Amino acid sequence: MFDVLFYFCSHEDEEVRLKAISGTGFLCNRHATFLLGTKIKTMYCDVLENREASIKLLCQVLKNIQLYLTEEDERMRRADAEWNRLGNKEDLKEMGDVQSGMSSSVMQLYLKQVMEAMMHKQSVVRLSALQVIIATLKQGLVHPVQCVPYLIAMGSDSEGTIRIKADQQLSDIDSRYPGFIQMKAIAGIKMAFRLQKLLQDDDTSPLRGMREKDTCYSLSNHVYSIIRGHRQHRRALLLCLLNLFDEQAKTELDLLVFVADNLAYFPYVVQDEPLFVMHHIEIRVSVSGANLLQSFKDSFLKKQPSRPASRSSRSSVDGKKVEFSDDEEEDEDILMSLIPDDPTQLLECCVASQACIMLLVLKQHLKDMYGFRDSTIHRYSPTEAAKVYDKALNRKSNVMFNPARALELLSVGQPKMTLTDRDKRDIVAEYLDVSHVGLIEQVLRMRDWPIFSFSCYGVNIDSELIELN
């Protein structure tokens, strides 16, 4: 019987294949050893891993696995009831353990492929795969920490049914295994980014990490809600997300926008949460801003400028670093002439500069959304007792987070390796922006004021600072 069914599983007619796979599923429910065999394993894995496979075939394979788990669970329940009735005569518990071990072996074999099926463009496939994972976790057949990143990703799904089921599983895991969600939260948010990128593949607009309904909210709302009750876990998550903006991390710009959106619209409840984010933004920008500016300068100065000797009397002639005055640093034409033939490092600096500016825009957004004064932000210390900043927040609903320049770059695209004059001017403009941010930081630090960004990026600057040299 198995050989006949398996023969038709590779038939060229899709309807015949579908019925054959369905029949194979019913047969495997009674004889689970077939699921561990090479033939069924190869066929199921090929279907699950093939992104071009028929949606009907994908769903049928997932349905077969779910049906096996459901019926196996029912058999275990009947065996337990029988054990309670005849426990003194036979060792039925041992028989039950053997069956449970079989289910676990089956799921260990197909778990990776089933979880990857959750990263499918069609919602019906994602829902079918999620149902298999729910049945697996319910019976305790695999370690739940493996499934956490995928469940976090499902929590960002555009389909409400999938979101609710995934969020419920995360809540159940957190209640039984505290700390597991926090352990895989960053991986889960990156997985959510991967899912959203897949779902919005046909959309030309930049990918965002928030959803707008009655109000804007983070796509990772539920994950943060689970973690935020534990102060240490919450801060660890926020710091890990901010670390993605580090120049050395070399995080892609679209992921940075996704993460910044989440940070902007997380469901913060007490003052300590946004204040902690703003405090570390200030620290990070004050350190990385200076390093980024130096990286920009080093990238520019690697090439001998093509200009008359009278204007480059302090330039080296052997390919060494070129030094120029402050006035020359503001001259676009001079800076354009210093762009090297290989602009790789300069382009990396441009992306890194967006990370720096985006953090400043994020800080201003949080300040406006929750109505913080500059003095409150400046006085904040994360080492204070928890009760000091444990006051409830009042959130304004009409404040939008808009990293305009980063979104523009994502829409237009990064310059190619062969730069046009416009590309060169854009690079120079990025350098001048970063150098101005560095100057403002120094002035504000000397005056003992908080750090702001540019008004052109949606952040206010005290008019008195513009006149300072």
Q: Where in the chain are the domains?
A: 1-79+96-121, 235-303+339-466
Spatial distance between the Cα atoms of 4 and 16, rounded to a whole number of angstroms: 12
Q: Tell me the average pLDDT across 337-341.
A: 72
Spatial distance between the Cα atoms of 100 and 72, rounded to a whole number of angstroms: 8
Contacts of 409 (CB under 8 A, 6+ apart): 253, 354
Residue 313: what pLDDT?
A: 37
Please, which pLDDT band fits residue 329 given cuts at 50, 70 and 90? low
Question: Which has the closest alpha carbon to 237: 152, 363, 150?
Answer: 152
Residue 458: what pLDDT?
A: 41
Q: Does residue 328 register a pLDDT over 90?
A: no
User: Rounded to two decimals, what is the model's pTM?
Assistant: 0.81
Higher pLDDT, 311 or 329: 329
Q: What angle do CA 432, 280, 224 make, to 5 degrees?
A: 120
Please, which pLDDT band fits residue 310 given cuts at 50, 70 and 90? very low
Higher pLDDT, 250 or 129: 129
* Under 8 Å between Cβ of 289 and 437: yes
CB 466: neighbour CB atoms within 10 A?
10
Helix ranges (DSSP H) in 31-88: 38-49, 55-86
Burial class (CB in 10 A: 0-12, 13-18, 19+), 446: exposed
